[in-house]
Amino acid sequence: MCSGKCSRVIAGSLYPLVLLSILCNTMLFFRGWDVKYAKEGHVTEEVKYLGGIAGGGILVLVAALYIQVTGEHGCCGNRLGMFFSIIFAAVGAAGGLYSFIVAALGLANGPLCYNSKEWITPFKNSSNYVSLTKSDHQCIEPKNVVMFDTVLFIALMAASCLQVLLCAIQVINGLVGCLCGTCNKKEVKTNKSHKFSAPL
């Protein structure tokens, strides 16, 4: 597979991961499927850092859009375009890494919840909160918040890991494209020759 085609595949794989990151981060604001907690400001601190929206969302989306352009023949589908794709891929990797760190912190610290007296983060600095059956009784409100936050933060971590991996592959692909070319011109010439060749 030439570097141009590889860029298109990588960009196409990044788009659903961007959507997943934005969706997970947005859902974390609506805990227990209720808007009132977001209105009252009772949201887990790490959710406010917008790791999935800003990092795994916007930064990776910008990178994916440019990476796709380098896979097409035209102004960016050349060696210089591939060089810039390395920079954009690095930006995308940084966005994915930011999303991963924020999600990991959210998972490690646990959710903000109401324990019948006050809003606290009861599982912060506790390694056993992930055993949901034991820890869930400490959170009265929102309902099932431990499971809710855990599933979404794990989904964010998985998406960001794949984003970083794909962007790292694009860095290597961009380097190959810089040195060897994108082979888009070869594809265009081949297509033209097929168009103008008369049938025997």
Least confident range from 32-46, 152-166, 172-186: namely: 172-186
pLDDT averaged over the chain?
Answer: 84
Averaged over 164-181, what is the pLDDT?
88
pLDDT of residue 184: 56
Q: Is the pLDDT of residue 191 over 50?
A: no
The rounded distance, in Å, linking the Cα atoms of 106 and 123 is 11
The rounded distance, in Å, linking the Cα atoms of 190 and 186 is 6
pLDDT of residue 193: 45
Least confident range from 50-59, 72-81, 83-92, 96-105: namely: 72-81
